[in-house]
Amino acid sequence: MSEQSAEPSSAPGSPLRGAPDSGPSTAPPGQAAGDFVLTLVCPDRPGIVHAASGFLIEHGGNIIESQQFGDQITNRFFMRIDFEIGASGGAPPTADDLRDAFAPVAAEYEMSYELWAARSPYRTLIMASKHLHCLNDLLFRWSTGSLQIEIPAVVSNHREAERLCDAYGLAFHHIPVTADNKDQAERELLDLVRRHGVDLVVLARYMQVLSDDLCRTLAGKVINIHHSFLPSFKGARPYHQAYDRGVKLVGATAHYVTADLDEGPIIEQDTLRVDHTYNQDQLVAAGRDVEAQVLSRAVRWHAESRVLLNGHRTVVFR
């Protein structure tokens, strides 16, 4: 998390957030039910909850959901509040109004914070290569309203995803990547991110390593998915390597991308028990199912401001 004392945080999830003060009158299942979401991180000390709730009372707020965590090791406090604002006879406050009004409270408690309209979608650019199971799953969930995202573009270094994107009416961008053009390809990607006001980039089995510079530029805004066999089975065909070793569990990890390959802060993990009856293809199929489920949960929690960075770890308010 990019922590700025008493300023709205730029942490995972970008400051744009689509149309901040618009959205459906009712939230889809699993999404926020109130008008706004406030998240905050600060040094732990008495009075934080009282200060936050007092601010909401002062502005006619009613708490729909509140979650908090105090890390006794780092002495950091984390909180997420989903709240609504009751009718007051005048024009209802906007997220910008409330964000500015909360600044003095944040300054007193050295908070980094975000405050957004609860249903503001994250503008999400998805990247994939040849394996499309994660992309397909995300597009289906987006199309049914179960993910609080907008998808301005899908990017791939291959063309396999183009027909799938066409079926969903989404813009597809083919950006080939070779050893000779990697810098140019990343410049094209960054141009898309900036041109479309992208808040989040999802690597849905995108099989290219992002450069250190790109990781730093998009810090806290890129989620990756990989199988859980690392570091045991690296390289090509990891499920086949795992089959040869007779593994009993397959799984997946979703994490934020950093310059340390596959070592960024973990958002979600899951496993599935397998046995000797699984052949290589069945093992691959089982792994794909887990990967898709883990990635979709990570994207959903991020888009609902449920993930806060705690150093190299995460606090996830499910």
Catalytic residues: 262
Is residue 6 a contact partner of residue 103, using CB atoms and an 8 Å limit? yes
Q: Is 235 left (phi over 0), alpha (psi -120 to 50) or beta?
A: left
Cα 73 from Cα 80, distance rounded (Å): 20
Cα 3 from Cα 110, distance rounded (Å): 10
Is residue 65 a contact partner of residue 97, using CB atoms and an 8 Å limit? no
Could you tell me which of 81, 88, 98, 101 has the C-alpha nearest to residue 20? 98
Residue type, 72: Q
Is residue 9 a contact partner of residue 112, using CB atoms and an 8 Å limit? yes
CA torsion, points 35, 121, 305, 46, in degrees to nearest 10?
Answer: -40
Where are the strands (E) in 90-157, listed by range?
Answer: 112-117, 122-128, 149-156
